[in-house]
Structure 1
Amino acid sequence: MQIKEDMNPVLLYLLHFLMWLYGVITFVPWFLLSGAQDRQVRASRVKAKPTSDKPESPYRSVDSFHSLASSLYKGCDTLDKVFKHGTELFKHRDCLGTREVLSEEDEVQPNGKVFKKVILGRYNWMSYEEAYLFASQFGNGLAALGQKPKSNIAIFCETRAEWIIAAQACFMYNFPLVTLYATLGGPAIAHGLVETEVTHIVTSKELLQTKLKAILPQVPLLRHIILLDGMGTQQTDFPKNITVHSMGAVQAFGAKQLNTQRSYPAAHDIAVIMYTSGSTGIPKGVMISHSNLISGITGMAQRIPNLGDTDTYIGYLPLAHVLELSAELVCLSRGCRVGYSSPQTLSDQSTKIKKGSKGDASELQPTLMAAVPEIMDRIYKNVMSKVATMSPVQKGLFSLAYNYKMKQISRGYSTPLCDRVVFWKVRKLLGGKLRVLLSGGAPLSAATQRFMNICFCCPVGQGYGLTETCGAGTITEVWDFSTGRVGAPLVCCEIKLKNWEEGGYYNTDRPCPRGEILIGGPNVTMGYYKNEGKTREDFFVDENRQRWFCTGDIGEFHSDGCLKIIDRKKDLVKLQAGEYVSLGKVEAALKNLPIVDNICAYANSDQSYVIGFVVANQKELLKLAEKKGVQGCWESLCNNAIMEREVQKVLAESPAAATLEKFEVPAKIRLVSEPWTPETGLVTDAFKLKRKELKSHYQEDIERMYGGK
């Protein structure tokens, strides 16, 4: 992405000359003293290679070529041992930080809506020793309340320090932890709680009132609700067999019950049952053992250089998602500080932060951060909108510096002068001290990745992993400034490509082998809870007794051993904000509408909405055109932007759309004048959609409907 330089040509040439002169004068001493040569060597080195010459051979990191890594510390084969080891090493260091709320007020917007705004103070910190003691006492309190070892307990809560304390308590006492997204709907929550037969649930006061309370009658085995942020009270409108407790009361109770028998977990015991969205809309519970998670975080920790007790991580993504949980477990194993935030309070410009006061990143000044593409895209748009309002001279300087730095980092060079003079204000948006920014959860567009690289003056890497692999698969190395790739396999796993004939992808393809991505290693999880059929479909064990997961994603390996995701075998797509969309479900819901003869839903993972291609029913479309006063032949009606908007409106307002989530309904459509037949090559002989061919055929329309950066 090149930014236009809007400046007086003479001044522009002068600045170009001065920057060239500066580069010539400083290049040699800078190159020798800054370690640039070493970075170039590391960036260009082979990072992974196949274990043999056979096309189906798995790729392994060159750092674990002869043996996959599976443990962070010797003898620490369960998560409670890892946390205890970290506590012994970093006993008095800051561990978990929560920001105090100084005041809250309602702010009326120009459109009449009321937004809640907060003014926040400093972070209050709990040491490693205090966090370990709190978790131990809370786990003891849960046991005293009747929670049994190897019996499931649920946590349904937003990301906060108490979440991770509750999780560590469950790891210590061998209570398998059932995690549920705070954004799930009532039926999905009830499904998870009933399927796992939980008797105890940890939640927040808000979620209890807004979501959990309504489904309590559907969860007959539930007996105890523990509130992380409220007082335990006798609820007259709750079922009589349910008791509500506060976390503090359970912890205090556990502190007194010193003789409670503790059951220690084994490495292959279930640590977490993490619910993840399925294509049918019913969430699946992934069974993750202690050894699975430890293997995953071992691989992640190895890919972050110099990770230690001088680092501060900002936690704001959902802890019920494997990306955030793994990231925090990595940090706690190495003595980092973890300060908590939320998407609404992350920066000075966030929606809940009162104008003029500090967002969490400004106060915390993190060195490490994980992000989803939606957050990065939002920052990108905010910065570029501010650049657009600059004076011509300011805009020209920014553009000149941006384009200059883009060329330099593509060669592996840094630009300390540009960073200090031009980009420091942008960098301050996230505290000013970031040294590693990792993107995960969905593909990150090349333009946004390059922008974050340049403006935040730190490596921006992509990771690839799934709940079924503990979030571990690949992560780009910090000195790799290429875009669009997800890096080499982590030291805990290996990856091979399986031929997918239907899509035309083969591991014998040249120059880059291609195929369905299969991940194998000790981080591959135990399967789906109470779903043996789906487990057999997606997991298998090879002749060496290694466990593998079939991802359904299509990838290609580059010559340096780095992986690029190029397609999806499944029709399940994750949008930019992390919502899963089943394209087949969308099509099935809308296909029977009178105005639709055929429909193909499409979604890009780096976008926030679904689009669609509609073969319209001629009679119904002509009737709609007459009603709206639009005239023309059939071809012109299908190419008419007004008719596209009107048909999209019909889809969105139909009863069929009510069966879909709002984000699943196509936000833009393209009307198709010719029906799809096997002769067109866009459907099979059985009239099933050929998604790859449809995407290629309508590529220009896809770009039009999504726009470009």
Structure 2
Amino acid sequence: MNAYIFGIVVPLLVILFRSRSSTKRRGLPADVSGERGLALRNHRFTSPLSSAWEGVTTLAELFERACREHHDRVLLGTRVEIAREVDYSYGRRLEKLHLGDYHWLTYGRVFESVTSFASGLALLGHRKEERVAIFAETRDRWFIALQGCFRRNVTVVTIYSSLGEEALCHSLNETDVTTVICGRKELTSLVHISGQLDSVKRVICIDDDKISSDLFAQTGWKITSFADVESLGRDNPVEADLPLSADVAVIMYTSGSTGLPKGVMMTHGNVLATVSSIMIIVPNLGPKDVYLAYLPMAHILELVAENLIAAVGGSIGYGTPLTLTDTSNKIMKGKRGDATALMPTVMAAVPAILDRVREGVLNKVNAKGGLSKKLFYLAFARRLLALNGSWFGAWGWEKALWNLLVFKKVQAILGGRIRFILCGGAPLSGDTQRFINICLGAPIGQGYGLTETCAGGTFSDFDDTSVGRVGPPIPCSYIKLIDWPEGGYSTNDSPMPRGEIVIGGPNVSLGYFKNEEKTIESYKVDERGVRWFYTGDIGRFHKDGCIEIIDRKKDIVKLQHGEYVSLGKVEAALSTSPYVDNIMLHADPFHSYCVALVVVSHPALEQWASQQGIAYSNNFSELFRKEETVKEVHASLLKEAKKGRLEKFEIPAKITCLSDPWTPETGLVTAALKLKREIIRKAFQEELSKLYASV
């Protein structure tokens, strides 16, 4: 009985203490004037943080410092492919892999590779005023190449490996890239467009496969393997030419959700400010941490995360989204996914990944049924009560019991050791956040930032259990709101000020490469020298200094009768349906209602069809065309809309169910899994027209 009382009273006292001290712990008014009031800064710092390491002003210095301090610790890990087979289930060709254990390189060995590559790059004839593009999937040599370029003060142009030909040509030509570092697959894409590339002289292939001599003749480029560049530099070392804080480290091309991508110019000081801030926010981050790297490193969230883990002496194990778990699409049945093999302690994720984890667990639980299903939902309900602050939730020994009986199996999906998840890139639904908090037993640090602010902006405190918010300003940032009268948002709104979010501080990038007009439109420098970026996102300040994202200027559509619909907000609410793998809401000023394209989850639909006794063929096309399928999915969306308190005009009147997933390879979503609305609209114009005609 005493243990039970202890399990309730102690957590309750903790909750009471948190609620009383929350305003003290988070953002507070700063002395930087906003356009209509004060900006907020992190309460722990009187001025924005530039570097958390004394004497370190660049990413090159930060990495060299880490390699000195952690010389014999392991840094980069990669899995070796053991076997490969082809699966033709569901009418599609899909490769399945059997991957072995992680093979590791120490900090000392990685630093040798970095210095050798830097020397080899110079000996190939690449001058520091020329730019290098890295056009490859995330892997150890991506990181080594990046650090090697930094040691020569060479600006790196980052390009998503899934980028289409038009955007790829635009990115390479606009930046006058002379050297491209790529994988074997990406080399094929480059050769295909070689006649359209103006400045490329040499290509370094990350893979060690033998390169066909035909490619040399076809392109006129000097094509060298990564290993040969390292070998050249090892035998003929060249002295480093280290950058300054104000030098441009990266020109990062956005993933292009609208039109051609824009190149964001980031200095070493810009990126270092965000890395420093996150290091301070995440508690006890250090040499014992193991990070699973699977997001594109051409995405600022991943680039910041990997530089951060290396800075604190942690280990980085590489994986892919398609080999992440034991049940991932490219993992052979019965073989281990990346998370199981690595057992990471820290992960970065975009909401779409966490939504899929939640969906996968729920599908498995529901399919199993019986006592296991009842036990899971009972445990979940008890823990949810506790997270919401109830006396009657599962605290203390009861929490430990549920973890042992139920949630330990869920935690094993991601290796069983996750202690913290960094989430960014898009709004995370409250349902998914609570699900991950409970089932993985780990807090989610939900952040808000943009490529233009080097991923920096706000980040939730480690012990903040609230949902729907993205925390207070990080130590390097100021945040202010400005009125947006057209959308009806004002900093004088009650009970919370609302408006467009503007971010200032040392993490705000220089602007868009060769795009002065857009730079002038989006960036401003005030009379105190603080650089500000106008995000286009709409937020509101809570009393404790935390911010909540509530809208997006570009996502607002005015319907025929004058109602405004926020597409992103509605999609976030509806995506919690178990049937939704992806969804795009469509609205226009010529109609008084919305429609939606829904990419339906195969496992969830399979389970429903089995329960209903509905026969279907393996390619699913028959099942997706059935009227009862559309009715079932639409009913599920209506249920989620009610839970999300959506207005009637925000709920799609009609939907179309689609079977093929939207991936970066299809060109319908970005590498960060954001919708490419205009491309999707054009691709499914016929389906959308039929939907409007049928209402």
Normalising by the residue count of structure 2, what TM-score does the alignment of the two structures yield? Answer: 0.80
Q: Aligned to 2:372, what secondary structure does the other structure show?
A: helix
Matched residue, 1:87: 67
Aligned pairs (5 A) from 1:426-465: 426-465=410-449
Matched residue, 1:374: 352
Matched residue, 1:629: none
How far off its partner does 1:224 sit?
0.8
Matched residue, 2:583: 609
1:536 counterpart = 2:520: yes
Using the alignment, how far apart are the partners of 1:29 and 1:554 within structure 2?
A: 38
* Larger displacement relative to structure 2 (371-380 or 275-284): 275-284
Q: Aligned to 1:502, what secondary structure does the other structure show?
A: helix
From 46, 49, 58, the equivalent of 1:69 is 49
Letter matched to residue 351 of structure 2: P
How far off its partner does 1:373 sit?
1.1
Q: Aligned to 1:199, what secondary structure does the other structure show?
A: strand
Matched residue, 2:80: 100
From 490, 501, 510, the equivalent of 1:526 is 510
Give the 3 Å change call, closer, same or farther, for CA 161–41 of structure 1 in structure 2. farther
Contact 1:152 1:178 survives alignment (8 Å) = yes
Aligned pairs (5 A) from 1:336-415: 336-411=314-389, 415=399
Q: Aligned to 1:565, what secondary structure does the other structure show?
A: strand
Give the 3 Å change call, closer, same or farther, for CA 434–217 of structure 1 in structure 2. same
Matched residue, 1:661: 679
Matched residue, 2:467: 483
Using the alignment, how far apart are the partners of 1:504 and 1:215 within structure 2?
A: 47
From 119, 124, 136, the equivalent of 1:140 is 119
Contact 1:610 1:668 survives alignment (8 Å) = no
1:202 counterpart = 2:181: yes
Q: Unaligned regions of 5+ residues in structure 2, if any?
A: 576-581, 592-648, 660-675
Using the alignment, how far apart are the partners of 2:73 and 2:288 within structure 1?
A: 10
1:312 counterpart = 2:252: no
Please give the root-mean-square deviation of Cα atoms over the aligned residues, in Å: 3.3
* Larger displacement relative to structure 2 (236-245 or 293-302): 236-245
Using the alignment, how far apart are the partners of 2:471 and 2:261 within structure 1?
A: 29
Using the alignment, how far apart are the partners of 2:257 and 2:335 within structure 1?
A: 43
Using the alignment, how far apart are the partners of 2:29 and 2:652 within structure 1?
A: 53
Matched residue, 2:158: 179
Give the 3 Å change call, closer, same or farther, for CA 668–381 of structure 1 in structure 2. farther
Using the alignment, how far apart are the partners of 2:72 and 2:683 within structure 1?
A: 51
Q: Aligned to 2:52, what secondary structure does the other structure show?
A: coil
Give the 3 Å change call, closer, same or farther, for CA 42–375 of structure 1 in structure 2. farther
Using the alignment, how far apart are the partners of 1:443 and 1:323 within structure 2?
A: 14
Give the 3 Å change call, closer, same or farther, for CA 646–534 of structure 1 in structure 2. closer
From 495, 499, 508, the equivalent of 1:511 is 495
1:224 counterpart = 2:224: no
Matched residue, 1:419: 403
Matched residue, 2:301: 323
How far off its partner does 1:133 sit?
1.0
Contact 1:612 1:669 survives alignment (8 Å) = no
How far off its partner does 1:232 sit?
5.7
* Cα deviation code 1:301-321 (max 9, x no counterpart): 111000000000000000000
How far off its partner does 1:27 sit?
3.5
Matched residue, 1:569: 553
* Cα deviation code 1:556-591 (max 9, x no counterpart): 01011100000112249xxxxxxxxxx89xx9xxx9
Matched residue, 2:276: 298
Contact 1:367 1:433 survives alignment (8 Å) = yes
How far off its partner does 1:385 sit?
1.3
Using the alignment, how far apart are the partners of 1:671 and 1:183 within structure 2?
A: 31
* Larger displacement relative to structure 2 (406-415 or 38-47): 38-47
Using the alignment, how far apart are the partners of 1:42 and 1:350 within structure 2?
A: 43
Letter matched to residue 293 of structure 1: V
Aligned pairs (5 A) from 1:276-287: 276-278=254-256, 280-287=258-265
* Cα deviation code 1:272-327 (max 9, x no counterpart): 00001457511110000000010111111111000000000000000000010001
How far off its partner does 1:390 sit?
3.3
Using the alignment, how far apart are the partners of 2:362 and 2:658 within structure 1?
A: 30
Contact 1:138 1:251 survives alignment (8 Å) = yes
Letter matched to residue 679 of structure 2: E
How far off its partner does 1:183 sit?
1.2
Aligned pairs (5 A) from 1:121-160: 121-160=100-139
Whose Rg is larger? Answer: 1
Matched residue, 1:688: none
Contact 1:517 1:550 survives alignment (8 Å) = yes
How far off its partner does 1:118 sit?
1.0
Letter matched to residue 117 of structure 1: K
Letter matched to residue 546 of structure 2: C
From 522, 538, 541, the equivalent of 1:557 is 541
Contact 1:149 1:174 survives alignment (8 Å) = yes
How far off its partner does 1:536 sit?
0.6
* Cα deviation code 1:141-187 (max 9, x no counterpart): 01111111132110000010110110000111111000011111001
Normalising by the residue count of structure 1, what TM-score does the alignment of the two structures yield? Answer: 0.79
* Cα deviation code 1:522-553 (max 9, x no counterpart): 00001110111111110010111111100010
Using the alignment, how far apart are the partners of 2:369 and 2:565 within structure 1?
A: 45
From 18, 24, 36, the equivalent of 2:5 is 24
Contact 1:43 1:479 survives alignment (8 Å) = no
Contact 2:28 2:43 survives alignment (8 Å) = yes
How far off its partner does 1:79 sit?
0.9
Contact 2:555 2:566 survives alignment (8 Å) = no
* Larger displacement relative to structure 2 (236-245 or 435-444): 236-245
Q: Aligned to 2:50, what secondary structure does the other structure show?
A: coil
Contact 2:155 2:249 survives alignment (8 Å) = yes
Letter matched to residue 369 of structure 1: M
Letter matched to residue 535 of structure 1: T
Using the alignment, how far apart are the partners of 1:646 and 1:28 within structure 2?
A: 51
Using the alignment, how far apart are the partners of 1:647 and 1:555 within structure 2?
A: 32
Using the alignment, how far apart are the partners of 2:657 and 2:284 within structure 1?
A: 55
Q: Percent identity?
A: 39
* Cα deviation code 1:453-474 (max 9, x no counterpart): 1101110221100000000111
Give the 3 Å change call, closer, same or farther, for CA 268–26 of structure 1 in structure 2. closer
Letter matched to residue 158 of structure 2: T
Contact 2:655 2:691 survives alignment (8 Å) = no
* Cα deviation code 1:16-53 (max 9, x no counterpart): xxxx9974364357779xx7777666657440111259
Give the 3 Å change call, closer, same or farther, for CA 267–339 of structure 1 in structure 2. same
1:166 counterpart = 2:150: no
